[in-house]
Amino acid sequence: MNQTKPTLIFDMDGIILDTEQVVRQCWHDIAPAFHAEEIDPVFLATVGTTRVHTCEILRERYGADFPAEEFNSAASRRYHEIDDAEGVPVKTGARELLHWAKDNGYALGLASSTRQEVVEKELSARGLLSYFDYVLGGDKITRSKPAPDIYATACRAMHADPAKTYAIEDSYNGIRSAHAAGMMPIMVPDLLPPTEEMRQLAVHIFSDLTEFHEFLKR
Q: Encode pLDDT of 119-136 as tens digits.
A: 999 999 999 999 999 999
Prediction pTM value: 0.93
Task: Read off φ and ψ for residue 138, nearest 5 degrees.
Answer: -65, -20
Q: Which residues contact 99 (CB under 8 A, 6 or more apart)?
A: 131
- The confidence score (pLDDT) of residue 1 equals 54
Q: Are 154 and 136 in contact (CB under 8 A)?
A: yes
The angle formed by the CA atoms of residues 44, 162 and 216, to the nearest 5 degrees, is 80
Q: In the CATH hierarchy, which fold is given to the domain comprising 7-18+90-217?
A: Rossmann fold (3.40.50)
Q: Which amino acid is at 184?
A: M
Q: Which amino acid is at 135?
A: V
Q: At what angle do helices 51-62 and 39-46 cross, to 10 degrees?
A: 150
Whether the per-residue pLDDT at 3 is higher than 70: the answer is no
pLDDT-based confidence at residue 2 (cuts at 50, 70, 90):
low
Mean pLDDT computed over every residue of the chain: 96
- Tell me the domain boundaries of the chain: 7-18+90-217, 20-86
How confident is the model over 72-77, as a mean pLDDT? 97
**Predicted confidence (pLDDT) per residue in 176-212, tens digit:** 999 999 999 999 999 999 999 999 999 999 999 999 9
The SS3 assignment for 40 reads helix
**Predicted confidence (pLDDT) per residue in 167-178, tens digit:** 999 999 999 999
Q: Which amino acid is at 7?
A: T
Q: Report the C-alpha gap between 44 and 46 in whole angstroms.
A: 5
Instruction: Give the residue from 21, 169, 43, 44 showing the smallest Cα distance to 109.
Output: 169
Q: Where are the beta strands (DSSP E) in the chain?
A: 7-10, 107-111, 134-136, 166-169, 184-187, 204-205
